[in-house]
Amino acid sequence: MTHALIVIDVQNDFCPGGALAVAGGDEIVPDINAAMNDFTAVILTQDWHPAGHSSFASTHDAAPMSVTEMPYGPQVLWPDHCIQGSTGAQFHPNLHVDRADLIIRKGYNPAIDSYSAFFENDKTTPTGLEGYLRTRGIDTLTLVGLATDFCVNYSAVDAARLGFKVTVQTDLCRAIDFDGSLAAAKAGMAEAGVTLA
């Protein structure tokens, strides 16, 4: 059994002062760094949007956090965040990035958002992470990072559906908790067979 730590989107824009700040998003960094030593592999994900991305409220002249209908289903319209090459898209400066075996970027297709580390939001277009894990013989995953109720949740549920043994270490995550999203995410993860530790 080979066990990977997947660190989801610990980026400046999701930390206090960022464009889509998650309360306490920076507090988890030291413990994530410490946890990296306990795993065979460490993988970081990075939200990586082109300017004018279709998931940005500004692209639609809409209010941030409103919801629109996309060809692949409902889409929350976010403040502009994690724009390619920007300071906001960079990893938190204290995160031990050099420990990562792989950095996987998502959300770079301007027409579709990507919460999950495994699939874009159409739930069919793969990121390539599954193939990477399988070719390395990794079957057990622990997920940490930002935000519990969106990118961590979608990644964990997809991983469980793909047959990986998945744990979300909730003390090393922080949530947006928008309109009941955290409770819904926890219920959905549990239903999918994800262990919440």
Catalytic annotation, residues? 9, 106, 151
Kindly state the helix (H) or strand (E) to which residue 106 belongs, with its residue range.
Answer: strand 102-106
Other Cβ atoms less than 10 A from the Cβ of 9: the count is 30
**Cα–Cα distance for residue pair 144/124, rounded to 1 Å:** 23
Burial of 133 (0-12, 13-18, 19+ CB in 10 A): buried
**Cα–Cα distance for residue pair 80/186, rounded to 1 Å:** 26
